[in-house]
Chains A and B, each alone.
Chain A
Amino acid sequence: MTPERLARGHELVARYPRPQSALVPFLQYCQEQDGYVTLQAMRDAAELVGITPGEVESIASFYTLLFKAPAGKHIVQVCRTLSCMLRGAEDLQAYIKRRLGIGHLETSADGQYYYEEVECLAACDRAPCLQHNLEYHYDVTPASFDKLLDSWQASAPAPAMPAE
């Protein structure tokens, strides 16, 4: 484990009465740096909290915001639950998939974009909505999505999945 990672790991462990509570926060921290939860991160986490790498993998696989493979620099998660569907989410999803040229749970060939249809984002009053790298965008239309896409392409890359 790099000294930096170890130091952060110790900081997280110190927040809790038991080390294992720091497991997911530590994986979130690693994911922020690496873009996904790498094998090395799982080994480091196992060492940090004192369980086996297999156990870490089983736990990590439970959580949908921990990516087990490189997903993309831009993670686009569009809501597919009832209130958004009632306000046109299906048409929006079809449009976005066409624009990005990828389907549900897919990454674009250049590794830039990852698309996923997710469950209710607790923004049902501003439907349809989506998150881009965990940032909310509301009342999304095809036209407003085009503008978002332009701004993402122009912006400097930030961590796709910030830890805190």
Chain B
Amino acid sequence: MATFEPVIMKGIGESDLADIDVYERGGGFSVLRKVMSDMTPDAVAAVVTESNLRGRGGAGFPTGRKWSFLPKDGRPRYLVCNCDEAEPGTFKDRMLLEKTPLQLIEGLVISAYAMGAKQAYIYIRGEFLEGSRIFRRALAAAQSRNYLGDRILGSDFSLDLVVHRGAGAYICGEETAQLESIEGRRGEPRLKPPFPAVAGLYGMPTVVNNVETLCYVKHIIERGAQWFAKIGPEKSPGPKIMSVSGHVRQPGNYEIPLGIPARELIDEYAGGLLPGRKLKAFQPGGASSAALFEEDLDVGIDFDSLAAKRTMLGSGGFVVMDDTACMVNCARTLTRFFEHESCGQCTPCREGGQWVARMVARLEAGEGSQEDLRVLNVINNTITGTNLCPLGDSIMPFLSSVLKRFPDEFAAHVAHGACPIKDVTAVVA
């Protein structure tokens, strides 16, 4: 069994951490108290920078650096908490929202204080109705005890937090699309620069941070930068929640020290593969990440080790596929996802995404041709790197990786006019 002591998942499943009395009894809001009475905003930011915390929302940008880009020009500045979690395979932010909303609030208030934001927003995915209700209740409780609102805990710092519900659109997880969406427009990503730190929400300096990132801030302030920095690889430190799903015995969220081998995550944390099955492929970081295979099981789960393998940690959506999975079927599911979620602004993403999804669907149905295979093998260069936002660049990585590793499986769909793997998506007993 895995031995890592959970940090932000501590207590989940044991007690009702959404209840403010329970949360306080476990030491909740003591870090905020300490910050309000003994620390300057700059001191808080310095600890976060020193910890080397990298954003848990997907891009892995250093959090302290991101905060430092805010210009000191007296304009109002905003903190936006990104709780739009929709990257396929990722389900950690929803858990944090529902199970430990007060920890998120504590981390958020500390972070807003560090960056000098008096107004914050949390953008909650529209599907998370239950989570948004739980969060609103937690927020009201925190406000009633002055952890938010005017002159927090007798200090000079005031913070207002507005809950904004999404209405269905994966692309609104992208930070500039999210800002457009909060402003009441279509969630179409903006051209960068300017970056949100300079011209973000309502044109003002803005930081967008992921739910998990803000939760870690609280613990970094509590335990110190060095505690965090010493966990895992130097350039990619700390704990991280991995959402493990697909063909494993115990799918679920697991908080790991970054850097452990993929093999350990599958075998020790997620209970291993299903009885009698063999590993075929795994996606380490959501739908946007290229697949890895049996020969890659020793790769470290962290930003840089996965990047070195030409894939990514992303948001930590780790999907395991065993030998009953048809790679054409998996690729069809994911290309359809990107086709559906393209906002349509860029031609390669919109048109290319549609063509690719149709070709893969044809192949799966046994109606594909050699020409389809040829095009899929070369189209990568046309689609990737030619779009406004990273969604367009996410269409091809998984498909290209499995096409390269299992060319025969794709070819067999053309040759036989059907799937050679009988039990395509076997229902698991």
A63 touches B333 (CB 8 A): no
Interface size on A, residues (CB 8 A): 47
* Min CB–CB distance B300 → chain A (angstroms): 23
In the complex, what's the smallest C-beta–C-beta distance from B212 to chain A, in angstroms?
Answer: 13
Chain B residue contacts of A63, Cβ below 8 A: 126, 166-169, 187
Cβ of B127 and Cβ of A83 under 8 Å apart? no
In the complex, what residue of chain B is closest to A127 when comparing beta carbons? Answer: B245
Task: Take A88-B427, A119-B340 as given contacts and tell me if A82 and B169 are in contact as well, using a CB distance cutoff of 8 Å.
Answer: no
Whether A62 and B184, one on each chain, are in contact in the complex, defined by CB atoms closer than 8 angstroms, is no
CB contacts (< 8 Å) of A126 on chain B: these are: 251
Min CB distance A149 to B, Å, is 19
Q: Does A100 contact B (CB under 8 A)?
A: no
Distance (Å) between the CB of B421 and the closest chain A CB? 13
Q: Flag whether B186 is at the interface (Cβ < 8 A).
A: yes
Q: Is the CB of B245 within 8 A of A124?
A: yes
Cβ < 8 Å to B, chain A residues 96-124: 119-124
Chain B CB within 10 Å, residue with most, of A25, A81, A90, A91 = A81
Query: A64: which B residues are within 8 A, CB to CB?
Result: 167-169
For the complex, what is the distance from the CA of A164 to the CA of B85, rounded to whole Å?
18
Residues of A within 8 A of B20 (CB): none
Q: Which A residues are in CB contact (< 8 Å) with B244?
A: 125
6 shortest interchain CB distances as A-B pairs: A20-B184, A64-B168, A65-B168, A63-B167, A88-B427, A124-B245
Contacts A22-B184, A82-B334 supplied; 10 other A-B pairs, CB < 8 Å: A21-B182, A82-B330, A83-B89, A88-B425, A88-B428, A119-B86, A120-B90, A120-B287, A124-B91, A125-B253
Interface residues of A (CB under 8 A from B): 15-25, 27-28, 49, 58-59, 62-66, 80-83, 85-91, 119-127, 131, 134-136, 162, 164
List 29 A-B pairs, Cβ < 8 Å. A19-B184, A21-B183, A24-B184, A28-B167, A59-B186, A62-B169, A62-B186, A63-B126, A63-B166, A63-B169, A64-B168, A81-B89, A82-B89, A82-B283, A83-B88, A83-B319, A85-B330, A86-B247, A86-B325, A87-B425, A87-B427, A87-B428, A88-B426, A120-B287, A125-B243, A135-B129, A136-B130, A164-B132, A164-B133
